Amino acid sequence: MSTLVNQQILLVSRPDGEPATDNFKLVSTPVPEPAEGQVLVRHHYLSLDPYMRGRMSEGKSYAQPQPLDAVMIGGTVGEVIASKHPQFAPGDKVVGMGGWQEYAVVDATQRGLLRKVDTTHIPLAAYLGAVGMPGVTAWYGLVKIIEPKAGETVVVSAASGAVGGTVGQLAKARGARIVGIAGGPDKCRQVVEELGFDACVDYKAHAGVAALSAALKAACPNGIDGYFENVGGVILDAVMANANAFCRIAVCGMISGYNGEPIPMAAPQLILTNRMKIEGFIVGEHMAVWPQALGELGAMVAQGQLKYRETVAQGIAAAPQAFLGLLKGRNFGKQLVKLV
């Protein structure tokens, strides 16, 4: 096994403003033999997610900054190819945080670092998306913070992404009217036709708060009762202008400010006049609900009730470019890198 070579992508510099490919470096290293209690995993897919942008910077955030000259952090799914731990055997399909590399040696004695998954009815890649962290993120924000009731109107931004698309379908299953916000006619069409949203507003076709607010008003004639926030900025302002009393906002992401730009809020007084609940959350801090969330998501995927789309880049070397594309909204659905 010592002849195996591992290709890895390291973060070698911190971005000043927008990240670029030269913040990353591709290196090759030999794959070590697993020691007692360790497992060697061959990664099949690597997950690319917006939160990674925050970890590239040194600023204060909910997650520790990604160390320089180290393998980029990230979720992975793959197959055990060698094991020195009784609970894992070669051939087991697993999900973990193996990072941007082709192989990882994982300490299986640490609980939660590696989880065995069943791929009989759920494709392996889905454990990085709809039946993984993005799916649980969607589930938590919707079910625990927005708590939609049948007949209410729920809006989600970045609606064609891995999280947004799942939010919409979970809300629909609970009897809510669901309206997406996405960039471009193709994404909006997909959100309505493929994912079953009631409507979708193309933010690129409505520049500025007034225009976007009017488009949302047309799509949400009864106002907005719940909003799943992925973007911030002008989009949040337009949603708040259409919010009903006691509107609930689950703040998952603010991608409009990921490069350090300020994100002003046009009318914060609406929080008071509408008695709004606005709650930020990090899904990794709510591990107690993961089994419940994954149970519902897994059943829906296995039965074909939860639709999802994947954008797949080929090979480890493609990861940085695919990641930059994700931050620009070039992906449809879940952004993955296929390694096998």
Of the candidates 52, 80, 77, 172, which has an alpha carbon nearest to the alpha carbon of residue 129?
Answer: 77
> Are residues 142 and 119 located together in one domain of the fold?
no
> Are residues 65 and 164 located together in one domain of the fold?
no
229 in Cβ contact with 236 (< 8 Å)? yes
CATH code assigned at 38: 3.90.180.10
Range of the domain at 62: 5-129+309-338
> Are residues 125 and 259 located together in one domain of the fold?
no
> Are residues 17 and 107 located together in one domain of the fold?
yes
Burial track 137-153 (b if 16+ CB lie within 10 A, e otherwise): bbbbbbbebbebeeebb
Q: What is the count of structural domains for the chain?
A: 2
> Are residues 70 and 193 located together in one domain of the fold?
no
> Are residues 124 and 172 located together in one domain of the fold?
no
One pLDDT digit (tens) per residue for the chain, 340 residues = 458 999 999 999 999 989 999 999 999 999 999 999 999 999 999 999 999 998 999 877 777 899 999 999 999 999 999 999 999 999 999 999 999 999 999 999 998 899 999 999 999 999 999 999 999 999 999 999 999 999 999 999 999 999 999 999 999 999 999 999 999 999 999 999 999 999 999 999 999 999 999 999 999 999 999 999 999 999 999 999 999 999 999 999 998 887 778 899 999 999 999 999 999 999 999 999 999 999 999 999 999 999 999 999 999 999 999 999 999 989 999 999 999 9
